[in-house]
Amino acid sequence: MTRDPVGSSTIAAIGYDEPTETLEVEFLTGTVYQYYNIGAGLYQELMQSASKGQFLNTYIKNAYPYSRVA
């Protein structure tokens, strides 16, 4: 999955696959997580948010299934 760099103090890049509703987040530490069942609207909200790390923590982390992939 292609990830786009983002301006964040914790996140390096974010990718999204709409057909599978999979969000991929690469943290500055190099760790990569995939979050599942993320609708396109929620992805757009994340990308438009002023603080992507805060948005991820508030609306996605611990609310959607995920797995560490790297």
- Phi, psi (degrees; rounded to nearest 5) at 66: -150, 165
CA distance from start to end of the chain: 13
Residue 57: its H or E element: none
Given a contact cutoff of 8 angstroms between Cβ atoms, the answer to whether 15 and 4 are in contact is yes
Q: How many domains does the chain have?
A: 1
Residue 5's SS3 state is strand
pLDDT given for residue 28 in this prediction: 98
Tell me the whole-structure pTM to 2 decimals. 0.96
Residue 41: phi and psi, rounded to 5, are -65, -45
Give 12's pLDDT tier (boundaries 50, 70, 90).
Answer: very high
The parent domain of residue 51 ranges over 4-68
